[in-house]
Amino acid sequence: MEAKLIGLGVETFKIALLLSLPMLMGGLIAGLLISIFQATTQINEMTLSFVPKIIVVVGIIIFMMPWMMNTMMEFTTNIINKIPDFLF
């Protein structure tokens, strides 16, 4: 019983990491490119770093939403199907 619950916890963390990875990577790459641009042009505007990252992350969320929803629905279906295993 404890092994099943630990397995469920590990699977939950894996799904959370998998779902957040595209947005985190997009923000990381956008931030890196903006930092390089700011370093080469010596522009130190704070909004220049935030606005493009926000736009990139929102774009990735919109683009990846069908995959994210399918992944979450599969995970939820698996949890609902495993409920009898956790009861006894």
In tens digits, what is the pLDDT along the chain, a chain of 88 residues?
788 889 999 999 999 999 999 999 999 999 999 999 988 988 888 788 889 999 999 999 999 999 999 999 999 999 999 888 888 6
Handedness of CA 21, 24, 76, 71 (dihedral sign): negative
Distance CA 76, CA 82 (A): 10
Model pLDDT, residue 87? 81
What is the largest distance, in Å, between two alpha-carbon atoms of the chain? 64
| pTM, full prediction | 0.80
Model pLDDT, residue 5? 87
DSSP 43: -
